Amino acid sequence: MVNLSKTLKVVLVVAVVLAALLFGFIALVMGSLDRSAEESFQSSYSYELKISTSGPIENAVLLLPLPSRYDPDSGTNVTPVNLSRAYFRNFDRSDISVRIEDVDGIPMLNISADRLAPIYKNRIEPIAIMPGQNESELPEPTHIYSDRYSAETPVLVDMELSMLDTDPGHEIETRTPVGAEPLFMPYRVVGTVSRSDDEYYYLGPGASGYIIEVPVILSFDAAEGNVLTITSEFHGRNEWWVLGWQYNTYFERISHEFRGPCNGTYPVRGVLVTGEGVY
C-alpha cells in the first residue's frame, strides 16, 4: 500500500509538471501567433473597372459611380481612388480622357472621348508538344487586334482600370461599412441577398448581402444594336498571417449592359456583401 501511495504521488507530480509544460507551450504558441498576426496585419482598398463596347460609340461621356464616403473634417465626400496610382490596360489615353469629377457633391469617374472604338482579338489555339520536343522551339503565339468583329478576331477585349491602396490608414470596418467606409455613391438599398438565392452572390457563413442601386450617367451616339458593358468592383479587406493568410472583407459589384445610343441617368443594380471572412 505504501509503495502504491508513493507511485500515485509520483504520477501526480509528473502529471502536474507535464500539464504546466503543456500550458506554457500553448501560451508560447498563442503568444507567437498573436505577434505574427499583429506584425503581418494589413488593410487595403482595391478598385477595378471594365468597359467593352461591341461597336464604336461617338461623342461619349460616361459618368460612373466611384466608392466614396463623407469626411467630416473636410465636409465633403472623398474617394480613395487615385488615378495617379491607377493601372490602365487597353485605354488609349491620348484619345480618351479619364478624370474624377464632382457631380452634385459626389465624386464620379468621367470617361470621355470623341470616339470609343471596340477592341477585338484573335483566339490563341493551343499548340501540341510532341514527345521529346523542346518547348522553347515552338512558335510564339501571335495576337491580332482589330476595331471590328470578324471570324479572325472574334474575341471582344475589355478596357480596364484598376487601383490598389495598401495604406488606408486604419483597420477597415468590414462588418458594418455603411457610414464608415467608402461605398459606390449615391446608392440605395433595394433588397437583400438570401443564402438560397445565388443570382447575385453566394454568401458565406456570417456574411450579409444587399442589392443596391446606383446611377450611371451616359451620353453617346451608337448603332441601335450596340452593346456597352460596364462592370465595376470595390473591395475593402483586412488580412493577417496565422498558420496561413486569414482575411475579412466587404465588397461591392455592379454590372450592366446598355444597348443602343444613351442619353440620361440609368439606375444600375449590384450587390454589397459585408462580413465575409474570418473574425
Q: Are 57 and 226 within 8 A, CB to CB?
A: yes
Please list, residue by residue across 90-114, b when 16 or more beta carbons sit within 10 angstroms of its beta carbon and e when fewer do. ebeeeebebeeeeeeebbbbbbbbe
Q: What is the pLDDT of residue 28?
A: 44
Instruction: Specify whether 116 is located in the same domain as 198.
Output: yes
189-239: per-residue pLDDT in tens?
998 887 655 566 678 788 899 999 999 999 999 999 999 999 999 999 999
Q: How many CA atoms lie within 13 A of 266 on its CB side?
A: 21
Q: Are 91 and 119 within 8 A, CB to CB?
A: no
Rounded mean pLDDT, 54-64: 96
Element (H, E) at 30: helix 2-40
Q: Name the percent of the chain lying above pLDDT 70.
A: 80
Instruction: Specify whether 113 is located in the same domain as 195.
Output: yes
Instruction: Specify whether 241 is located in the same domain as 143.
Output: yes
Instruction: Specify whether 200 is located in the same domain as 261.
Output: yes
- CA distance linking residue 40 with residue 193, whole number of Å: 33
Instruction: Specify whether 120 is located in the same domain as 227.
Output: yes
Instruction: Specify whether 178 is located in the same domain as 90.
Output: yes
Tell me which residue of 276, 272, 274 sits closest to 248, measured CA to CA.
276
Instruction: Specify whether 252 is located in the same domain as 137.
Output: yes
Rounded mean pLDDT, 114-129: 86
Rounded mean pLDDT, 54-83: 94
| β-bridge partners, 217 | 63, 265
Distinct helix (H) and strand (E) counts, the chain: 1, 17
- CA distance linking residue 20 with residue 82, whole number of Å: 54
- CA distance linking residue 180 with residue 235, whole number of Å: 14
Instruction: Specify whether 81 is located in the same domain as 105.
Output: yes
Q: What is the pLDDT of residue 30?
A: 46
What is the domain range of residue 17?
1-40
Confidence band (pLDDT; 50, 70, 90) for 244? confident
| Chain centroid offset of residue 275 CA | 15
Rounded mean pLDDT, 125-138: 69
The position carrying cell 440605395 is 188
Q: What is the pLDDT of residue 245?
A: 87
Say whether pLDDT at 145 is over 60. Answer: yes
| Number of domains the chain is built from | 2
Say whether pLDDT at 108 is over 70. Answer: yes
Q: Name the percent of the chain lying above pLDDT 90.
A: 62
Instruction: Specify whether 92 is located in the same domain as 211.
Output: yes
What are the CA-CA distances from residue 215 to residues 68, 105, 137, 259, 269 (Å)? 14, 14, 52, 16, 9
Instruction: Specify whether 30 is located in the same domain as 95.
Output: no
User: Is the four-CA dihedral 108, 90, 82, 41 of positive or negative sign?
Assistant: positive
Q: What is the pLDDT of residue 24?
A: 47
Instruction: Specify whether 186 is located in the same domain as 241.
Output: yes
Instruction: Specify whether 201 is located in the same domain as 177.
Output: yes
User: Is the four-CA dihedral 82, 85, 90, 93 of positive or negative sign?
Assistant: positive
- pTM: predicted TM-score of the whole model, two decimal places: 0.81
Say whether pLDDT at 184 is over 90. Answer: yes
